[in-house]
Structure 1
Amino acid sequence: MNDTPGWASPGSAPSDGPQPGGHPPADQAQPADQPDQNPHGPAAKWSPVQPPPGQWSAPTGAPQQPGQTPPPPPPGPGWGAPQHPGGYGGPGPAGYGAWGAGWGGPPPAAKPGVIPLRPLGVGEILDGAVSAMRTHWRTVLGISLTVAVVIEVVTVLLRGLVLNDRASTDALDDPSATLSEITRAMGDVMLDSAVVSLIQMIGMVIATALLTTVTSRAVLGRSVTAREAWQDARPQLPRLFGLIFLLLLIAVGLGAVGALPGILLAVSGQVEAGAGLIVLGGLGAGVVALWLLIRFSLASPALMLEKQGIGKSMSRSVKLVRGSWWRVFGIQLLAMIIANIVAAIIVVPFTLLGAASSGDGISGFVNSSGSPGWAFLIISGVGAVIGSMITFPITAGVTVLLYIDQRIRREALDLELGRAAGLPGYDTSPTTPRS
């Protein structure tokens, strides 16, 4: 029998033997380039020149022989036309339909939690951080609120009791101020900003450490309470503070090295040249510090999730960031910009309200005259707490998801995550050795 759909000759019928009357079967007919012996037979309706098998189409209006199966239509472009259940273009086992629809690529990756188990894009990292905060909002906001309150209380006390008398900018607005007065005023302002930034950075690292467990469980589609997150993070907290101290020591050391030539020049009597060299050295040290900060930016989640020591977590971060410095820097910079915009929307009204309730009013706050009072510090601190409740989860989630993304790209962590989530098809996958 030769009745394969799409490959049988035109006009053939499903038959194995000779036709009644002694005529041979249609699939054994004479070649198309020879004259037809029966001009009134079915083959007379067809052109002597036929297309190759599987590409022809029946002429419009051509009658079909009784009992003859009409030929199937030609396949559509890209093999995307539906064929039969279970075929490449129709419903069937998962994945076959996606491959049949115009070669659209492999089936989508499994997504047990807030991210798909594959290398992530920038939008997926940001969306995963927001989704983790929205899905586990009680735990996330509870941790963020606790850390933010502690940080703001320390900041308000320092600014109100210690830094309030030093952070004076009157010399910067005085045209007749000497260079030493301007330098001292700039130093006071930089000291105030550095102390506040240091406290905020410590709070950010602690929040990242506590939220690492929440985000890692959210990737697997599982929830975790604040108590469980604390129990998981508590054994690593001493090492985490050691990591913070070491990173700060490196930053301070770089700043001292950058400013040392200018300081020596200023001590020798060339004050103006020394001040300029201090500025240049500080800028150079800042660039080097930023480069190292990005290289070590994944040390905190590595320390918390892998239960590593300080040195091992820093080396793990360097290995994961190697070759992707600009990508990691760009994603973290974008997350920081988004978080700061959200924080500004919340903090600015509280800042204006605190300025209005102070003794000098908003005009005194705008003109930078006088020192901020307790009313301003407390009211603006409340706004900062509310802003930190939203910004901490975003920045912490982005850092953790960046760590997971880099491990997926370099170490096939998605296989381990699929097995941990209990997904079918991942339990038999071989374990990928860690690089």
Structure 2
Amino acid sequence: MASVQLRPLSIGEILDAALKVCMRHWKVLTLSVVPAILPLMIVSVLFSASFDIETDLAQFERTGDPADIPSSLWVSAGVSSIVTFLTTAIVMAVCFKAIADAWLGAEPSVGRSWRFALPRSFSLIALFLVSGVCYVLGVLACLIPTIWLWSMWAVASAALLFERVGPFKALGRSFQLIKQRFWAVLLLQIIVALLTFFVSAVVTGIPSGLVTLFAEDNEIATAFSDVIFGTIGNAIVLPIGAAVLTILYFDQRVRKEGFDVQLLAQGIGTEYDPNAPIPAPLRPVGGSAPQPQPGYWQPPPQPQQYGGGWSAPAHDAPPLRWGPAGEAPRDTRPPEESPWMSPGSPSGGGWAPPTGASPDRRWGSEDAPPPRDEDEDERPKQDRPDWQPPEERGPGGL
């Protein structure tokens, strides 16, 4: 598992990581994208060649009335748009899976990515339709709601694919992850849009311009250029966009849900399995702490005679705060009733004097030390009656 990568990343680090993943696994990503994009480009060129667009639009350019546009042109444009929309949705799902495997430490596979994407393509198409309608309504409402939704729904596709939820839950899930990160995600989206536009313009625009300059009337050369370089451009742009959104999705889960710790705890001692579903976010059940999974260590039950042991606080309990300590309880009993003030019988719980001791024992003359002669230390040792020279000392001392 790529534990070094699973940490909060800045905008520059997300872009750098996305480009590195795409360059490191360009073969798998290219083989994942080209089989779907190449037929799409061929169909698009054939549709364009079957109509004389300049002649069909000549009447519309003179009158400006949409009714002057031939119905066949409307049909071809609609069919081409639908095919492009469906193909792009499937290819994006394939890229999401390949990028996720590479980011989490597994080697991406073309077959595994397609097997993952095909069953979820219809849900992803429904998500694109719902979000597209909301974007159009936002454009009609002065464009600001569209910009806001574009940022807040940035990781809805990743949430739908990896968490196996429906379109509406995926939109709500994306809103939950992006909340409080609106401006950073919006800036990232703008940078990615400008980057992909520049790459697409360079890869497809320059060859098309050269063909138009040197072979303007050669329709075969124009069609060949559109198919080849259009496919190459999409094979570069689509993985970059998918890589940025995939890494952004995992980055938000690391920031807000501890996804790196969760993935590490569930995969200790084993390698990341790309065929296994990505762990869903941990949520408390019924307001209590998450229950441990079977097979993991569980704390032993506490003995009931000690009150049942410590219990974890509920998730909805107010947080603990530091405050001043309360006052100690005061003893309101009179002094004569306190067992510390007067002796009592052992049966009453009070202190009792030792056996044979006098209860009224006081210091008296018999216990007092003998008076000390203040001049005793000042007299010469020879004049003191208790002093003897060393040669007269006996074995018992002085």
TM-score interval for Structure 1 and Structure 2 normalised by the shorter chain: 0.5 to 0.7
- Aligned residue among 283, 287, 293 for 2:150: 293
- Aligned residue among 156, 168, 182 for 1:311: 168
Shift of 1:154: 3.9
Q: Which amino acid aligns with 1:334?
A: I
- Aligned residue among 338, 342, 346 for 2:199: 342
- Aligned residue among 105, 126, 129 for 2:18: 129
Of structures 1 and 2, the larger Rg is shown by: 2
Shift of 1:304: 0.7
- Aligned residue among 225, 228, 234 for 2:112: 228
- Aligned residue among 314, 322, 334 for 2:179: 322
CA shift digits 1:316-349 (9 cap, x unpaired): 0111122222211211221222222222222123
**Do the aligned partners of 2:90 and 2:117 also contact (CA within 8 Å) in 1?**
no
State the superposition RMSD in angstroms. 3.8
1:206 paired to 2:90: yes
Shift of 1:352: 1.8
**Do the aligned partners of 2:6 and 2:251 also contact (CA within 8 Å) in 1?**
no
- Rate the CA distance shift 1:294–1:156 in 2: closer, same or farther, 3 A: farther
**Do the aligned partners of 1:354 and 1:377 also contact (CA within 8 Å) in 2?**
no
1:138 paired to 2:27: yes
**Do the aligned partners of 1:354 and 1:380 also contact (CA within 8 Å) in 2?**
no
Give the structure 2 partner of residue 393 of structure 1: 239
- Rate the CA distance shift 1:240–1:171 in 2: closer, same or farther, 3 A: closer
- Show the 5 A alignment for 1:396-435: 396-419=242-265, 422=268, 433-434=282-283
CA shift digits 1:352-390 (9 cap, x unpaired): 2332465558xxxxxxxxxxx564244123211111111
Shift of 1:145: 1.5
Give the structure 2 partner of residue 71 of structure 1: none
**Do the aligned partners of 2:155 and 2:174 also contact (CA within 8 Å) in 1?**
yes
Structure 2: distance between partners of 1:358 and 1:170: 28
- Rate the CA distance shift 1:190–1:235 in 2: closer, same or farther, 3 A: closer
Shift of 1:210: 1.0
CA shift digits 1:300-323 (9 cap, x unpaired): 110111111111111101111222
- Rate the CA distance shift 1:353–1:168 in 2: closer, same or farther, 3 A: farther
- Rate the CA distance shift 1:166–1:433 in 2: closer, same or farther, 3 A: farther
- Show the 5 A alignment for 1:149-164: 149-161=38-50, 164=53
Structure 1: distance between partners of 2:248 and 2:269: 22
Please list every run of 5 or more consecutive structure 1 residues that lacks an aligned counterpart in the other structure.
1-110, 259-280, 362-372, 425-430
**Do the aligned partners of 2:21 and 2:99 also contact (CA within 8 Å) in 1?**
yes
**Do the aligned partners of 2:95 and 2:239 also contact (CA within 8 Å) in 1?**
yes
**Do the aligned partners of 1:353 and 1:379 also contact (CA within 8 Å) in 2?**
no
Greater mean deviation of Cα atoms: 118-127 or 202-211: 202-211
**Do the aligned partners of 1:350 and 1:382 also contact (CA within 8 Å) in 2?**
no
Q: Which amino acid aligns with 1:339?
A: T
Residues matched between the structures, number: 273
Q: Which amino acid aligns with 1:309?
A: G
Structure 1: distance between partners of 2:6 and 2:248: 13
Structure 1: distance between partners of 2:194 and 2:265: 35
Structure 1: distance between partners of 2:261 and 2:15: 22
Q: Which amino acid aligns with 1:338?
A: L
SS in 2 for 1:112: coil
Q: Which has the higher contact order (CA 8 A, sep 6+)?
A: 2
Structure 2: distance between partners of 1:319 and 1:419: 24
Q: Which amino acid aligns with 1:146?
A: P
Structure 2: distance between partners of 1:324 and 1:312: 19
Structure 2: distance between partners of 1:147 and 1:287: 34
Give the structure 1 partner of residue 2 of structure 2: 112
Percent identity over paired residues: 24
Shift of 1:394: 0.9
CA shift digits 1:182-229 (9 cap, x unpaired): 9989xxx99999998876665444333111221211122211311111
Structure 2: distance between partners of 1:169 and 1:411: 58
Q: Give the TM-score taking structure 1 as reference length.
A: 0.53
Structure 1: distance between partners of 2:52 and 2:126: 26
- Rate the CA distance shift 1:401–1:225 in 2: closer, same or farther, 3 A: same
Give the structure 2 partner of residue 28 of structure 1: none
- Show the 5 A alignment for 1:48-87: none
SS in 2 for 1:120: coil
Give the structure 1 partner of residue 299 of structure 2: none
Structure 1: distance between partners of 2:59 and 2:213: 21
Q: Which amino acid aligns with 2:232?
A: I
Structure 2: distance between partners of 1:332 and 1:191: 33
Greater mean deviation of Cα atoms: 115-124 or 399-408: 115-124
- Rate the CA distance shift 1:315–1:123 in 2: closer, same or farther, 3 A: same
